[in-house]
Structure 1
């Protein structure tokens, strides 16, 4: 039997959509019953309502060890997708607790119950830092603790450390490091907010680059890795290194909206994140645009996906076509 944590999030929900098409029974962990509706909506969008009924939902929390023991009882394989994503410095403690301590709990219970294989969803943010003579980030790029990293990146790197500890103690593991993930649904979080902002009329764009990937590809690769003999390896999951300008334009085109047309210079984004800090204090609201986000808007990062392509002979889908299709689907909701 399979257990999925984070099944009410973007990756976990798309993973459940694919897993339920197989023969193995699937169990999914949830904290609040109302969040299951988002996953159910995803299944409905793809006309797979009958597959949703195959999921055995069980209440639990990765920070509550006693709740994990019955959740993992009878489980053979674990897909650990649950994580907290934030670039607000105020969330540092929450990030470390959920992403590091929560992952440690999952690893410990998996070891105690004799789980056969464990797949951990990390992030390209947890990969290493380029040296002066390097131009592309791979799984072998070394993490430099002396360099600036967001609290989110530090928490995901710490989570990976817990998974590697589990591997050293006898747990079969694979780690995937996806780039910016795009998929249908979950419009109020992560990459989904980009579609909402462009639909409302986004004026600004930047020329930084990132690694982008479809949620469907991430889920497909995870399943293939878990069905393989691979263990003790991690893989960068990036379909394409692409500029934010290209991403925004593809989404705008899919929505038949005006493309963002004002270039947000580094000076403008530096002013913007400081103003956002000021208004967050004044209005007692969460941060919407942080220093980390301002830096990322202009950073040119290139990730090497050759390891996963060679291991599985895998071909990623075209990310621009994928973005346009999601944008069309989003527009059809209004």
Structure 2
């Protein structure tokens, strides 16, 4: 039986649908019952028989930091997809990020070892990949992580989670790690993921940052995870990205697909530096949630280029062109909000 953590998130819900389509025997963890409706919403995008697919899953209420509930979830499990994570770039969320991303992953790894799990797939992020000092230098799985860099709190904790997985491999666990870029997919239009970016572009953005990032659609991520788990590949990490694009080009493509006006002005580094300081001050004075940090400002202003050749070579995988992915996601968005 397969165990999926984080099944109520973007990747987890799409992974569940794919596994159920393949008639797999699946148990999935959830923390809050109301989150299950999001899974049904995702399923409804792909089938009219939502309840049949949903009810085939053995749902277990558990928390990745509640070991007793996890022990029950691991009974008769042979393979684990660890998708659960806390995504935030707010510096004041650091301790919560450590608890969920690092300690939670350590718990999953420990139980995988003690239950003799055959293979673990951990979904990390390109945020946990090292960065080159010079822009436009190709970043690979071997690019060295520099703990002295001004890394975001999210990146630090995802890297720490990977260290727990590698520690598990030293103790006999077979594992693969995937490092996707910005994941594009439908069903989660609010929050801090890419879905909220589609919504912001639809409502209208005036500015675009000068940097670049890497993108991949959720269907490619899920297909790669399943293919890696079904392969003989083990104790490897893989960058999962379809294309590297400047933020301006990505925003223009989404705006065109949503039939709205694209942003016309590039936001300057000076304006961003003022904005993140004002954001910090607003948090300190009024307790408002951080929307922009110093590290995020640096990230969206940097030109980073990631290499996907290792995954393409080892799996002979062909990524979906990002234009096709954007069109597909925008069509789902317009069905919900158009």
Which TM class, normalised by the smaller chain length? over 0.9
Contact 2:6 2:29 in 1 (8 A): yes
Residue of structure 2 equivalent to 1:128: 130
TM-score (norm 2): 0.96
Contact 1:128 1:137 in 2 (8 A): yes
Q: Please give the per-residue CA displacement for 1:240-299, whole angstroms capped at 9, x wherever unaligned.
A: 011111111111111111111121111111111112222233332211122122111211
Cα distance change of structure 1 residues 199 and 135 upon mapping to structure 2, 3 Å threshold:
same
Matches of 2:279 and 2:63, distance apart in 1: 32
SS in 2 for 1:86: coil
TM-score (norm 1): 0.97
Residue of structure 1 equivalent to 2:179: 177
Where does structure 1 differ by over 4 angstroms across 4 or more consecutive aligned residues?
Answer: 131-134
Matched, 1:105 2:107: yes
Matched, 1:269 2:272: yes
Residue of structure 1 equivalent to 2:6: 6
SS in 2 for 1:297: helix
TM-aligned CA deviation for residue 132 of structure 1: 5.5
Residue of structure 2 equivalent to 1:86: 88
Counterparts of residues 138-157 of structure 1 (less than 5 Å): 138-157=140-159
Matches of 2:303 and 2:163, distance apart in 1: 26
Aligned mate of 1:251, from 251, 254, 257? 254
Contact 1:254 1:325 in 2 (8 A): no
Matches of 2:239 and 2:99, distance apart in 1: 24
TM-aligned CA deviation for residue 325 of structure 1: 2.4
Residue of structure 1 equivalent to 2:36: 36
Q: Please give the per-residue CA displacement for 1:165-189, whole angstroms capped at 9, x wherever unaligned.
A: 1111111100001111110111112
Matches of 2:134 and 2:126, distance apart in 1: 19
SS in 2 for 1:333: helix
Residue of structure 1 equivalent to 2:310: 307
Matches of 1:253 and 1:124, distance apart in 2: 27
Contact 2:126 2:179 in 1 (8 A): yes
Cα distance change of structure 1 residues 133 and 272 upon mapping to structure 2, 3 Å threshold:
closer
Matches of 2:175 and 2:217, distance apart in 1: 23
Contact 1:253 1:324 in 2 (8 A): no
Matches of 1:133 and 1:204, distance apart in 2: 22
- Count matched residues: 334
Residue of structure 1 equivalent to 2:228: 225
Matched, 1:70 2:55: no
Structure 2 unaligned segments of length 5 or more: list them. none
Matches of 1:173 and 1:333, distance apart in 2: 37
Aligned mate of 2:165, from 157, 163, 166? 163
Matches of 1:118 and 1:156, distance apart in 2: 16
Residue of structure 2 equivalent to 1:193: 196
